[in-house]
Structure 1
Amino acid sequence: MTYRVAAVQYELKDISSFAEFSHQVTHYVKNAMEYGVQFILFPEFMTTQLLSIGDSTQEALPIERLPEFTEAYTELFTQLAQQHDVYIIGGTHVVQADAGLRNTAFLFHPDGRVDTQAKLHMTPTEVEEWSMTPGDGLEVFQTRYGTISMLTCYDIEFPEIVRMARAKGADVVFCPSCTDDRHGFYRVRYCCHARAVENQIYIVTTGTVGSLRKVDFMRANYGQAAIISPNDIPFPPAGIVAAGEINFDMLVVGDLDLSLLEKVRQSGSVTTWRDRRTDLYPNW
């Protein structure tokens, strides 16, 4: 099975209304559909753009106000997924849970269903500045095109959780990300390549670009989308199916051939998934 994915290098810029956010999101979706895609990935923390709408004093809204946009956010993406018959990973949005604020990835299905996966590993900034709380567990999600997982930014830096996603049947991990400098960007990017090699899976990742001048901790963004494969003969030599131009407002589009994953798992130059030493470490 082969299907096409698009990853959005989403440009963060100050806005004055939810309608502006909706217009920008709709533009990216319509652009992606011109390429006949089945999945669209948006980046982590894309909805922090809504904080720039500000309050009556023109100051940015605090992060605690972001969950107030949850209903409008889900309605927008649900409508777009249904209208265009496409799966949309709507980046991440901050929601209010019993345990506190959670940075949560959303999967919008073409039939109107919505699945979520809370980020499992919190960065120091998320904890100390925004009082975020981690998710409780890992889920994988069934689609018309097979099993996928959503692991957000810092999550991809923990090999164990990606092993668990693969063990649960995921062939593709969608990794929305948000990094403010080159160090953070390359940590995530290099780990995406490692996880693709270790588990013989595809990783689709993207990050925010642009700047929110009103919103603390979102004033700088360093991002690039990439569609990453295992490093073996059937795939591109560098393990990059497609990649964007760093820090440009753009789409990246590429095809994922799931049959190639099975081929290399069984008879590739290396068979990393099959050759795990489960006698020495846990078999997730």
Structure 2
Amino acid sequence: MKYRTAAVQYKLADIDTFDQFAEQVTHYVRNASEYGVQFLLFPEFLTTQLMSIGDEQGNALTIDRLPEFTDSYLDLFRTLASEYSLYIVGGTHVIKTDDGSLRNAAHLFHPNGKIDVQHKIHITPSEVEGWNMSAGEGLEVFETEYGMIAMLTCYDIEFPEIVRMARAKGADVIFCPSCTDDRHGFYRVRYCCHARAVENQIYIVTTGTVGSLRKVDLMRANFGQAAIIAPNDIPFPPAGILSEGIINDDMLVVADLDLALLEDVRARGSVTTWRDRRTDLYPDWQ
């Protein structure tokens, strides 16, 4: 099976209304539809742009106000996924759980209106200290018309165990929305994406925010680049990069994912890292 995927290098800028956010998101979806994509990935924390709308005094909204936009966020992306007949990983949006805690949640919008959610499992110190974010408690993989996928957000990709679990559950593609503010953070995520692709013989689609929210603390600087990454083996480009963007530019990155090639390299590749794992020593905890 083969399908086309795209990732958005989403340019953050201060806005005044939700409609402005919706217009920008819709632009990227329309652009992707012109390329005939079946999957589209937005970056982590793209809805922090809504915090720049501000309160009555002109101050940026605080993070605990962001869940107020959840219904509008869900309606927007659900409508776009249906209208353009594609799967959309709507980046991440901060939601409030029943116990009142804040979670950073990735959402998969299906063309038929279904919505799957994966809470970020590993939380960075800045998310805890700056925004009082809490960690998700489990990993799911999600069935689509084009096979099984998982959504692991930014810091999650830096933990080999959780990606190994996703592959053991059947995921062939990991969508990794990210948000990093400098080169150090960006390259941590990017290098780990390549490592996870090699270890598990999977595709990883990743992207990050670019631009700046001048009103919003912790979002004043962004360093990002989208990439569609494959295992480093002969059927794929030598560097394992199917496509990548121009760093910190506002753009869309597109590539085709051939799932049959993954099966080929798992069975007959130059190395067979998935087949040769030592589950007697380090089991695939599911």
Give the TM-score range, shorter chain.
over 0.9
- State the shift of 1:282 in Å: 1.7
| SS of corresponding position for 1:69 | helix
> Residue deviations 1:187-230, cap 9 Å, x none?
00000000000000000000000000000000000000000000
Q: Tell me what 2:172 maps to.
A: 171
TM-score by length of 1: 0.99
| SS of corresponding position for 1:129 | helix
Unaligned residue ranges in structure 2 (runs of 5+) = none
| SS of corresponding position for 1:116 | strand
Q: Tell me what 1:283 maps to.
A: 284
| SS of corresponding position for 1:184 | helix
> Residue deviations 1:139-158, cap 9 Å, x none?
00000000000000000000
- State the shift of 1:7 in Å: 0.1
Q: Tell me what 1:80 maps to.
A: 80
| SS of corresponding position for 2:73 | helix
The within-5 A match list for 1:1-284 is 1-99=1-99, 100-284=101-285
Unaligned residue ranges in structure 1 (runs of 5+) = none
Q: How many Å separate the matches in 1 of 2:114 and 2:275?
A: 34
RMSD between superposed Cα atoms in Å: 0.5
| SS of corresponding position for 2:204 | strand
Question: How many aligned residue pairs are there?
Answer: 284
Q: How many Å separate the matches in 2 of 1:85 and 1:243?
A: 24
Q: How many Å separate the matches in 1 of 2:272 and 2:44?
A: 32
- State the shift of 1:283 in Å: 2.9
TM-score by length of 2: 0.99
Whichever residue aligns with residue 3 of structure 1, its letter is Y
Structure 1 segments, 4+ long, off by >2 Å, are none
- State the shift of 1:98 in Å: 2.8
Q: How many Å separate the matches in 2 of 1:278 and 1:96?
A: 37
- State the shift of 1:135 in Å: 0.5
- State the shift of 1:278 in Å: 1.4
Q: How many Å separate the matches in 2 of 1:114 and 1:279?
A: 36
Whichever residue aligns with residue 236 of structure 1, its letter is P
Q: How many Å separate the matches in 2 of 1:105 and 1:151?
A: 8
Q: How many Å separate the matches in 1 of 2:150 and 2:158?
A: 15
| SS of corresponding position for 1:275 | coil
State percent identity of aligned pairs: 75
- State the shift of 1:181 in Å: 0.1
> Residue deviations 1:28-74, cap 9 Å, x none?
00001000000000000000000000001111000000000000000
- State the shift of 1:277 in Å: 1.0
Q: How many Å separate the matches in 1 of 2:204 and 2:98?
A: 31
